[in-house]
Amino acid sequence: MQVLVRDNNVDQALRVLKKKLQREGVLREMKQRRAYEKPSEKRTREAAEAIRRSRKAARKKAQYEGLLPMPKRKPRAPQRPAAAASPATKP
């Protein structure tokens, strides 16, 4: 996995890296591997995940076809100006 650091902005690169790791499921897998998981528990968990994925896909398809209402969008917070966001720039 690779993340480019632009303008020496390491904080932004870390945010991007964390988001990529989250999307790929690496963090969840690391958390699961901390302790031993019995094969029967693994089968049960994987079956539950498959059911969850199929239900989500069916729900998305029904929303796309207009059978279910689309989810309400969350209002986005207004963006702060870059100069006012960092306290180090104040004299």
Per-residue pLDDT of the chain (91 residues; tens, 9 = 90+): 888 899 999 999 999 999 999 999 999 899 989 999 999 999 999 999 999 999 999 999 999 999 999 888 888 877 777 655 555 555 5
Alpha helices in the chain, H assignment, sequence order? 10-24, 26-32, 39-65, 82-85
pTM score: 0.57
Report residue 71 as tokens.
């989810």
21 within 8 A of 7, measured Cβ to Cβ: no
Nearest alpha-carbon partner for 46 in 59, 32, 35: 32
What's the residue count for the chain?
Answer: 91
CA–CA distance, 19 with 4 (Å, rounded to integer):
14
